[in-house]
Amino acid sequence: MLKVVAFSGILSNKQTLNPDFYKWNRIKVRYCDGASYTGDVEAVDPATNLHFRGARVFHAIIDNLLARGMKNAENAIISGCSAGGLTSILHCDRFRALLPPSTKVKCLADAGYFINAKDVSGASHIEEFYSQVVATHGSAKNLPTSCTSRLNPGLCFFPQNVVTQIQTPIFLLNAAYDSWQIKNILAPGVADPHGTWHSCKLDIEKCSPDQLKIMQAFRMEFLNALSGVGSSPSTGMFIDACYAHCQSETQETWLRDDSPELAKTTIAKAVGDWYYDMNPFQKIDCPYPCNPTCHNHILNPSEHPDV
């Protein structure tokens, strides 16, 4: 783990870069458990000394922060990106319950809305993978019972099966063409043995017309998975048409002169207005490549040899 990490975007302490949250106490929690803090296995693997106890880690961290003064918080947000975004969904109501009733608590999930979709070969790759994660970590008892009472626990790792039951206000920030999901859900290496998708996954502008057609269908699957979220003003939504993954903790996508916008609104303004109940925000972008404000990921092949 890096010894020094940048606090930018929603974690910035500069008013010009983060006008709504710059004065807040900002805590970055290291991601260490591999299952969005849901694991709880008593047994320790003697060969590796691996502990699958993410849920206990989560509670220990929150207890520690409450003792340090978070118990006096007037306002609180649990946020995260990628697996941390999934944490913010799966633990949203739990976080609310651990804080005093007087605290205004909301949840922000950035790039955590992973969908249950078949890959390009027609296999349910991500569904099987999530099922194995939940089994390995003993996660079932820490997933929402509103879901596990009716579905296989592995399916309750997918936000689309739990988000409708969340009581705490939540904001979903996601790219409709999430680069992690395109790489690992739609076209994982196991489904693309000849590397047909390799260049496309590194740079969306290198995708063929046929690949773009498949990605447009994936976008429709993604939007369909969001359809149960509902239109309550307590639920925020910023779904852009970018090829990106994680947009709240990098300054260029959170708030800058050239940041991504929906309805002429930056992510920072949309989240701030939603949190402080000034303006609800639920916007879904038009299909790629319609949004000129996007910061589309171009991945370095040496850093992504698995792509």
Residues with catalytic roles: 82, 178, 245
Query: ∠ at Cα 220 (82, 267), nearest 5°?
Result: 45
Residue in this structure with the two tokens 């999934």, named with its chain if needed:
86
Tell me the C-alpha to C-alpha distance, in Å, between residue 165 and each of 96, 97, 168, 215.
14, 15, 9, 29
**Are 173 and 271 contacting, i.e. CB atoms less than 8 angstroms apart?**
yes
**Are 78 and 161 contacting, i.e. CB atoms less than 8 angstroms apart?**
no
Please tell me the distance from the alpha carbon of residue 262 to that of residue 233, in angstroms, as a whole number: 17
Question: Could you count the other beta carbons within 10 Å of the beta carbon of residue 99?
Answer: 18
Closest CA to 155 of 186, 123, 127: 127
